[in-house]
Amino acid sequence: ETGVTQSPTHLIKTRGQQVTLRCSSQSGHNTVSWYQQALGQGPQFIFQYYREEENGRGNFPPRFSGLQFPNYSSELNVNALELDDSALYLCASSLGAGGTDTQYFGPGTRLTVL
């Protein structure tokens, strides 16, 4: 059974650019959640996708957007990058979108904005 995978592992961008991060969910999981983890902080919830629909959003501006595909893989897009967007971006998949559904995390994408 393949776990959650993310690509790329590292990325360097400059301020104002746009970036797309990708996540493949664990087999059988229909829900993907995205988190931002700044250095020395706990992960912060960005949004969740359940069966291709957004199913909850954290306190992030609209320039953070996402997609979920029919195979339940997902993308996180960030427009107009700012220096504060530098962080580890974590994707997690789960069997469902409820509070009791355990989220399994990928290794993350380290984004550096210069």
Partner 1 sequence: AQSVTQLDSQVPVFEEAPVELRCNYSSSVSVYLFWYVQYPNQGLQLLLKYLSGSTLVESINGFEAEFNKSQTSFHLRKPSVHISDTAEYFCAVSDRDQGGKLIFGQGTELSVKP
Residues that bind partner 1 (CB under 8 A): 4, 31, 33, 35, 40-45, 48, 50, 55-56, 58, 90, 92, 94, 96-108
Distance in Å, CB of 29 to partner 1, minimum: 11
- Of 29 and 85, nearer to partner 1 (C-beta) is 29
Distance in Å, CB of 25 to partner 1, minimum: 13
Distance in Å, CB of 39 to partner 1, minimum: 11
- Of 54 and 80, nearer to partner 1 (C-beta) is 54
Residue 67 DSSP code: E
What pairs with residue 10 in β-bridges?
Answer: 110
Nearest-angstrom CA–CA distance, 100 and 78: 29
Cα dihedral across residues 45, 111, 88, 109: positive or negative = positive
> In a 3-state reduction of DSSP, which class is residue 50?
strand
